[in-house]
Amino acid sequence: MNKKISAVYPGSFDPPTNGHLDIVNKSSCLFSKIIVAVTDNINKKYTFSLHKRVDLLQKSTKHLKNIRVVSFSGLLADYLGKINSFILIRGLRALSDFEYEFQLALMNRKLNKRIETIFLIPDQSYAFLSSSMVKEVAMLGGDTADFVPSCVEEELKKHFANLSKFHCEK
């Protein structure tokens, strides 16, 4: 573990999955402190509010002492400058992630040349996971227990039960 350096793991986490938590676990062993920074990607529509996503991540990482979950808005590069932390962690699940991640890393470095992005590869069992896929499974009544922590599973059930109640009442 690097005793002095903190790193930031940014994402939208809608919702957090076991794949995200695998990256959090791995990075918490590599750095003295990990800031999980939750934000809204302006190109996406979200199922869970920013507040709910932060709450779910806090609950799912409470066993790890060196993790802080926060939210931010605006440019990630500006947020990193504000907290004076310039190492970014991103997960690379497959080659298909690479192009977007490469672009994001270079854009962030262009915006602030101190920013370095470190890519971690999740365990193979999580390589196929994505938040949208998990939501689709939950929406269609499938079991998500293997994909997300229990607090997220509960929240997914609640969300999609309310949604189907609403559709039935209409």
When the beta carbons of 66 and 112 are compared against ligand COA, the nearer one is 112
- Measured CA to CA, the distance from residue 68 to residue 96 in angstroms comes to 29
Judged by CB, which is closer to ligand COA: 31, or 126? Answer: 126
Give the residue, chosen from 1, 2, 32, 41, that forms a contact with ligand COA under the rule CB under 6 A.
41
* Interaction pattern, residues 9-28, with ligand COA; x per rule: CB under 6 A: -xxxxx--x-xx--x-----
In 43-134, the DSSP E strands lie at 67-71, 87-91, 116-120
Regarding 76 and contact with ligand COA (CB under 6 A), the answer is: yes
Q: What phi-psi label fits residue 84: left (phi over 0), alpha (psi between -120 and 50 degrees) or beta?
A: left
- The closest of 57, 51, 43 to 13, measured between CA atoms, is 57
State the catalytic residues. Answer: 20, 44, 93, 131
Judged by the rule CB under 6 A, the positions of this chain that interact with ligand COA are: 10-14, 17, 19-20, 23, 39, 41, 44, 75-77, 91, 93, 104, 107, 122, 126, 129-132
